[in-house]
Amino acid sequence: MTLRNGTSVRLRAIRPDDEPRLMALCRRLSPRTVYERFFSFRPLLPEQAHAFANVDYRQRMAIVAEVDDGRAPELVGVSRYGPSDVGTADIGLVVADAWQGLGLGSLLLEEILHAGEQRGIHEFSAEVLTDNRRALSLLARHTTITRRTVGNGVTSVVLTRRADAPVEATRQEGS
């Protein structure tokens, strides 16, 4: 995949050996990004990274964005889904601060929704801080929101993937 700035990233399913790279990604996030994603300033714990990196690729799935500049490959974003209380798949997404605004969030969202659809999941849910306008705008551009509730500073949505959603970065042949 090629981002708006011309940089290439590789999107792929997460693997158990991504656990240390996932921890490294979360250590590089700004406090604001951590709070917007996890609703807390608490860093990702090793046992959480282990659970996030070890998915069953059906009910729990994650897609990572990886760059390889000749050194060790580095994760710069991740999207995931897992079972929720309301019978949907709950989605989450985070992009490293230096990689935000380049279309990577759109790619990760599209890929995780597509992965869910391939596994028979057509309805997703998400909780977003109400003042996180970028995340809410991303969902509005790429999904059809079928239910929305707002309370205590959190917007909860139930959504489906839009077939005509714009993709803001470009796929390379063979990606």
Instruction: For 113-149, write each residue's pLDDT tens digit.
Output: 999 999 999 999 999 999 999 999 999 999 999 999 9
Asked if pLDDT for residue 104 goes beyond 60, the answer is yes
Instruction: For 154-173, write each residue's pLDDT tens digit.
Output: 999 999 998 776 555 544 43
State residue 175's pLDDT score.
36
Task: Calculate the alpha carbon distances from 15 to 56, 75, 111, 156, 167 in Å.
Answer: 10, 12, 16, 29, 25
State residue 68's pLDDT score.
86
Asked if pLDDT for residue 87 goes beyond 50, the answer is yes
Residue with tokens 């300033």: 41
Instruction: For 9-54, write each residue's pLDDT tens digit.
Output: 999 999 999 999 999 999 999 999 999 988 888 888 889 899 999 9
What's the mean pLDDT in 57-80? 93
What's the mean pLDDT in 69-79? 91
Q: Which of the pair, 81 or 1, is modelled with greater confidence?
A: 81
The helix/strand/coil state of 88 is coil
Average pLDDT, the chain: 90
Q: Angle at the Cα of 37 (from 137 to 8), degrees rounded to 5?
A: 70
State residue 90's pLDDT score.
95
Name which CATH class applies to 10-161: alpha beta
Distance CA 126, CA 149 (A): 11
Binned at pLDDT 50, 70 and 90, residue 76 comes out as very high
